[in-house]
Amino acid sequence: MLKNDLLLRAARGEETERTPVWLMRQAGRILPEYRALRARLSGFKELVETPELAAEVTIQPVDALDVDAAIIFSDILVVPEAMGLTYEMVEARGPLFPETIKTAHDVERMRIADPEEHLGYVLEAIRVTKRALNGRVPLIGFAGAPWTILAYMVEGHGSKTFSKARRMLYQEPELAHALLRKITATTIAYLKAQVEAGANIVQVFDSWAGILPPAHYQEFSSRYIAEICAAIPSVPVTVFAKGAFWAVEEFAQFPCRTIGLDWNQDPRAVRPLVGDKTLQGNLDPCALYGTPAQVRAATTAMLDQFGPHRHIANLGHGVYPDTNPDNVKVFIETVKEYSPKLRG
Ligand code: 1CP
């Protein structure tokens, strides 16, 4: 039994006494306690692959920030690794795949991962976290959308353009689909296993949605996200496709419950397009660089735009590591103080 189930009730579309709030990337470098723990370790992967440590940093923001949900500390790139493509996390630079996907043979070599066998450390981290949370708040599980995972597997690292990955969609669409099918099968099994391990809601991150033209988005991304949503009927699913403003009406037809908005989207324009779906978002992460009074004003303006119900307050993307945690607290406290007033 959950003591605070605001997030789940809002996700299901039920009316709540106030708007729930959490932040994408809430576990991480904004917190001094995260940096202290991280400094004692060999690297990011040790943290991700040691369930007790992953659980500890998952719970840090619940203690420090009093958010309404925890998100399991992991990364979307554990999925390509489970399929057979190892990643490194280079300090201050980001992920790097020493080998990438180029040919049909490379795609054939990739396995549809077995969650217990290849991602057991994440499932164990979820179990440890659930025990330690003891029902304080819901736990969010997550995975990358197949297109975003393909982008890293083909490109090998972060990129502004992901032009190698996008080239594959034009030059070898069948090869891209073969890989996307394997990623989708892995992701469905993985998210189901996360739910079995204790995740109360899951989020699909399509971080690189916005670099595709709409026709390619339908052909190579959204149809696979729809498959994932249909395969997870037991908990609410949130779809966050950064930059894909054109896809919102399509998502409204998906068997998902919540649609994440980035800060480029106007909630007042989106609301009439999405029926009874819940919306999540969407304060500009840079708004947290303002003074506390500015953060308060930006947050109340955002809450006014979404209205009282079917909203989960969040940023429009992950919180930036150099954000002052005091301003993050102002954001959270403003949601808690102001959103009940919206209920009149
Ligand atoms: O030690 C460190 O602080 C390294 C930075 C870091 C962290 C804290 C990385 C490297 N990943 C994470 C954790 C992480 N990644 C979480 C934790 C839970 C939380 O939200 O609190 C989550 C949900 C992710 C998901 C993730 N990883 C995404 C999707 C969300 C998004 O931000 O769009 C993506 C694209 C990644 C890849 C990745 N991992 C790390 C970096 C620096 C990147 C981006 C690289 C790039 O620029 O392409």
Cβ 38 under 6 angstroms from ligand 1: yes
**CA-based nearest residue to 303, from 276, 343, 272:** 343
Domain map (residue ranges) of the chain? 6-342
DSSP state, 319?
P
6-342 adopts what CATH topology? TIM Barrel (3.20.20)
Cα of 76 from ligand 1 centre, angstroms: 7
Q: Are 280 and 258 in contact (CB under 8 A)?
A: yes
Cβ 210 under 6 angstroms from ligand 1: no
Instruction: List CB contacts of 175: < 8 A, sequence separation 6 or more.
Output: 103, 104, 107, 168
ipTM for this model = 0.92
The H or E element containing residue 95 is strand 94-96
Cβ 95 under 6 angstroms from ligand 1: yes
Per-residue pLDDT reduced to its tens digit, 72-116: 999 999 999 999 999 999 988 999 999 999 999 999 999 999 999
**CA-based nearest residue to 313, from 288, 281, 266, 289:** 281
**Strand 88-90 to strand 278-283: parallel, antiparallel, or no bridges (unpaired)?**
unpaired
Please give the single-letter amino acid code of residue 80. Answer: P
Residue 46 structure tokens = 């040790």
pLDDT of residue 85: 98
Q: Are 174 and 104 in contact (CB under 8 A)?
A: no
Per-residue pLDDT reduced to its tens digit, 125-156: 999 999 999 999 999 999 999 999 999 999 99
CA distance 269 to 28: 32
Q: Tell me how many degrees the CA angle 203-118-218 measures, rounded to the nearest 5.
A: 40
Closest residue to atom 17 of ligand 1, CA basis: 73
Instruction: List CB contacts of 328: < 8 A, sequence separation 6 or more.
Output: 23, 26, 30, 65, 288, 319
